[in-house]
Amino acid sequence: MAREVLSALLDKYEDNGIKDLQDPKVLQNDPFKELGGPITITKEFGGKDGFNDFLKNLQDEIYAEEIV
């Protein structure tokens, strides 16, 4: 499930920018409803704190500068 959530989040980011990654309500919409909704998804990541950590790491990776 984590792979599907990551893919969906990246699609949302591509379509709408960072705002969807910062809004926990995004999990109430498609395609996340099809993956079980907010409660099921956050449980998959170890709860709310675990999911928030995942989002923070995802944002860090998206905006990481490549050091040459």
Q: Tell me: the pLDDT tens digits for 14-58? A: 888 888 777 878 899 899 999 999 999 999 999 999 999 999 999
Position of tokens 């998959």? 44
Half-sphere CA count of 52, side-chain side, radius 13 A: 5
* Residue 10 within a domain: yes
* Residue 68 within a domain: no
Contact 54, 45 (CB under 8 A): yes
pLDDT at 18: 81
Number of domains in the chain: 1
pLDDT at 66 > cutoff 70: no
- Quick one: how far is CA 10 from the chain centroid? 7
What predicted TM-score, i.e. pTM, was given to this entire model?
0.81
- Domain range for 36 is 2-63
